Structure 1
Amino acid sequence: MNAIVESPVVRAAPAFALGADAYRTLAFAKTEDDVLWTREWICIGAIDDVRREGDLLPFTAGDHAVHVQSTPGGRLVGRFNLAQHGGCRAVPLQCRQGAKTSCSFTSCGYSRDSMPLHAAERGAPTADMYQYLGLRPERLLGVRVARDGALIFVHLDPAGAAFVSTHDDAPQGARREHAWLELDVNWKHAGQRMAAGVRHGEATDTRAVFESRDAIGQATQTLTAAWRYPNLLDLRVQGSRCMVVLQPTALQRVLCRISTYGAHSLANWQALLQRRAALADLHFDAAQWFEATLAARIARIAGSHSQTP
Structure 2
Amino acid sequence: MQQGELVVVTGMTGAGRSTAAKELEDLGYFVVDNVPPELVGDVVRLVDEKQGIDQPVAAVVDVRAGQFFAALTEALVRRFPSRRTTLLFLEADDDILVRRQDAARRPHPLQGTGRLLDGIHRERKVLEQLRGDAQLVIDTTSLAPHELRARVADAFGSPTSVALQVTVLSFGFKYGVPVDADLMADMRFLPNPHWVPGLRPHTGRDGDVAQYVLSNPAAVEFLDRYVPVIETVGEGYLEQGKRFMTVAIGCTGGKHRSVAMAERIVALLRSRGMDARAAHRDLGRE
TM-score when normalising by structure 2: 0.25
Choose between structure 1 and 2: higher helix proportion.
Answer: 2
